[in-house]
């Protein structure tokens, strides 16, 4: 078959080239008849393929939580040399956040300017660096937030993340992602989830690329419950797209599998492509979603709604209603609330909030927060609209009619855990040391009578 990195025709160009649905049990075969019928692991599989299961949950998980897929491949993934620590080591990927030598903590509001694309050749793996996180991949509970900048395709290697699921949010440049289930084209404005354990390669058809990555340990993303919203709204299950089976055969001398394990990288050589899966079936799969298809809900009379109404995906904890990590977006939408301060209100939150901007502007920050940038407001750290936004909003008064927020896509990773921040993120030349200044100009508008005494009745 053709090299998957040779031209754009090898990657799906529209929704019809994918399977659709969230949480479905799918099946796909690149050659008719390659899927066994009536059982998962026959003595001899069709076309002499090997049967291999990949499990995303324990064997005894409740059926509604069980995730697994069966892959039928030309050679099994076990056929490789022993893993060795990658040389040179990466040094800026973290998956255990109790190490004080690489992480610190602060309640101060933090903001970063967009990170420059590197001058030297850098692929997705070498361009990945951790900003913050909490918990531990070893303990199977927690999360990490990374960013990436890259300017070249991965070439003759694939990455396997044994630590957790990646949710990748490209901000600049398309990603062509080859997985063991097939191929995904992901553009800025779309997101992709690459589940724990799947091998994948990232190619850059547009050259330089930049984006954000959320990683969760010990659980998987789900759609949030809709509650009183009813049966429809937010992200529709049908809009999540899964790749169709595609395979690569023939010798690939010196092919490298890079395994992320406990935040460290290990390499193993093999003589064939890991993307040799001719057919597969199951519900543990990579998938993508176009954020423009999100159906937002909002206030239609008074007050600004909580950001939870914009949740696309959630990774829950054992405590009902408390998320290990929520993925929330702020898409184009109408603002119609009456007698209401329409931007987000000032608040302190028991959750920690990491924000990014894919394109456009953000309604609560008139200056300084630009596409490719990021901010972090940790647990109970106060935040809200900057001075310019506040003054412009109240100047409009109660006569402000309906208005539409356009040409924007901001997002938030929100967690119940308090993140530790990597030292290189705190010491980064791209950190905005003047971020606090955006609120310093807020002045008192208190208009109580000057002759009144302090205190109440």
Whole-number pLDDT of residue 92: 95
Annotated binding site for homogentisate: 362, 383
- CA angle centred on 60, ends 57 and 62, rounded to 5°: 80
Whole-number pLDDT of residue 181: 98
Instruction: Give the phi and the psi of residue 396 in degrees, each rounded to 5.
Output: -75, -25
Sequence spans of domains, the chain: 294-433
Annotated binding site: 347, 353, 362, 383
User: In this structure, how many other beta carbons lie within 10 angstroms of the beta carbon of residue 283?
Assistant: 17
Whole-number pLDDT of residue 410: 97
Q: Are strands 157-161 and 251-261 parallel, antiparallel or unpaired?
A: parallel
Give the contacts of 130 (CB within 8 A, at least 6 positions apart). 92, 93, 94, 144, 145, 146, 263, 422, 425
Annotated binding site for Fe cation: 347, 353, 383
Q: Does the domain at residues 294-433 carry the CATH identifier 2.40.50.100?
A: no
Whole-number pLDDT of residue 1: 35
Whole-number pLDDT of residue 448: 79
Q: How many angstroms separate the Cα of 329 from the Cα of each of 198, 204, 350, 360, 414?
A: 26, 25, 19, 13, 11
User: Do 326 and 234 meet the contact criterion of CB atoms below 8 Å apart?
Assistant: no
Q: Is 304 a catalytic residue?
A: yes
Whole-number pLDDT of residue 450: 57
User: Rounded to an integer, what is the distance from CA 178 to the centroid of its chain?
Assistant: 17
Structure tokens at 242: 């899964």
Whole-number pLDDT of residue 5: 45
Instruction: Give the phi and the psi of residue 152 in degrees, each rounded to 5.
Output: -145, 155
Reduce the DSSP state of residue 182 to 3 states and report it: strand
Whole-number pLDDT of residue 16: 85
Structure tokens at 57: 């949950």
Structure tokens at 16: 């019809």
Per-residue pLDDT of the chain (457 residues; tens, 9 = 90+): 333 444 334 788 888 899 999 999 999 999 999 999 999 999 999 999 999 999 999 999 999 999 999 999 999 999 999 999 999 889 999 999 987 778 999 999 999 999 999 999 999 999 999 999 999 999 999 999 999 999 999 999 999 999 999 999 999 999 999 999 999 999 999 999 999 999 999 999 999 999 999 999 999 999 999 999 999 999 999 999 999 999 999 899 999 999 999 999 999 999 999 999 999 999 999 999 999 999 999 999 999 999 999 999 999 999 999 999 999 999 999 999 999 999 999 999 999 999 999 999 999 998 899 999 999 999 999 999 999 999 999 998 888 889 999 999 999 999 999 999 999 999 999 999 999 999 999 999 998 765 555 555 5
Catalytic residue among 16, 32, 304, 377: 304
User: Do 150 and 124 meet the contact criterion of CB atoms below 8 Å apart?
Assistant: yes
CA gap 180, 71 in Å, rounded:
8
The residues that bridge with 144 in the sheet, in sequence order, are: 133, 215
């Amino acid at each position: 078959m053709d090299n998957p990195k040779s031209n754009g025709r090898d990657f799906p160009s529209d929704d019809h080239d994918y399977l659709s649905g969230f949480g479905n049990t799918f099946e796909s075969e690149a050659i008719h008849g390659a899927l066994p019928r009536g059982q998962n692991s026959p003595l001899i599989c069709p076309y002499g393929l090997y049967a291999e299961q990949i499990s995303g949950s324990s064997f005894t998980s409740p059926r509604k939580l069980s995730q697994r897929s069966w892959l039928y491949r030309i050679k099994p993934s076990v056929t490789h040399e022993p893993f060795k620590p990658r040389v040179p080591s990466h040094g800026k990927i973290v998956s255990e956040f109790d190490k004080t030598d690489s992480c610190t903590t602060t309640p101060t509001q933090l903001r970063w300017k967009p990170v420059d694309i590197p001058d030297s050749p850098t692929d997705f793996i070498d361009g990945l660096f951790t900003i913050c996180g909490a918990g531990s991949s070893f303990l199977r509970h927690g999360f990490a937030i990374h960013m990436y900048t890259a300017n070249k395709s991965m070439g003759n290697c694939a990455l396997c993340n044994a630590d957790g699921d990646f949710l990748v949010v490209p901000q600049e440049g398309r990603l062509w992602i080859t997985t063991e289930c097939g191929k995904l084209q992901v553009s800025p404005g779309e997101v992709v989830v690459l589940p724990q354990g799947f091998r994948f390669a990232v190619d850059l058809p547009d050259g330089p690329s930049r984006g954000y990555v959320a990683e969760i340990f010990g659980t998987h993303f789900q759609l949030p419950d809709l509650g009183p919203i009813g049966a429809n709204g937010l992200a529709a299950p049908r809009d999540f797209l899964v790749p169709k089976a595609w395979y690569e055969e023939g010798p690939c001398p010196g092919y490298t599998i890079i395994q992320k394990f406990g935040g460290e990288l290990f390499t193993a050589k093999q003589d064939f492509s890991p993307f040799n899966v001719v057919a597969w079936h199951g519900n543990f799969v990579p998938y993508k979603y176009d954020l423009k298809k999100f159906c937002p809900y909002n206030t239609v009379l008074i007050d600004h709604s909580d950001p939870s109404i914009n949740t696309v995906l959630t990774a829950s904890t054992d405590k009902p209603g408390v998320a290990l990590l929520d993925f929330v977006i702020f898409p184009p939408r109408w603002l119609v609330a009456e007698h209401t301060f329409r931007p987000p209100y000032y608040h302190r939150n028991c959750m920690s909030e990491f924000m990014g901007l894919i394109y456009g502007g953000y309604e609560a920050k008139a200056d300084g927060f630009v596409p490719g940038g990021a901010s972090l407001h940790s647990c109970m750290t106060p935040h809200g609209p900057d001075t310019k936004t506040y003054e412009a909003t109240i100047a409009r008064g109660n006569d402000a009619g309906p208005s539409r927020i356009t040409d924007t896509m901001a997002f938030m990773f929100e967690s119940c855990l308090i993140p530790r921040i990597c030292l290189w993120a705190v010491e980064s030349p791209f950190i905005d040391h003047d971020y606090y200044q955006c609120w310093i100009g807020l002045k008192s508008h208190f208009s109580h009578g000057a002759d009144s005494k302090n205190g109440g009745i």
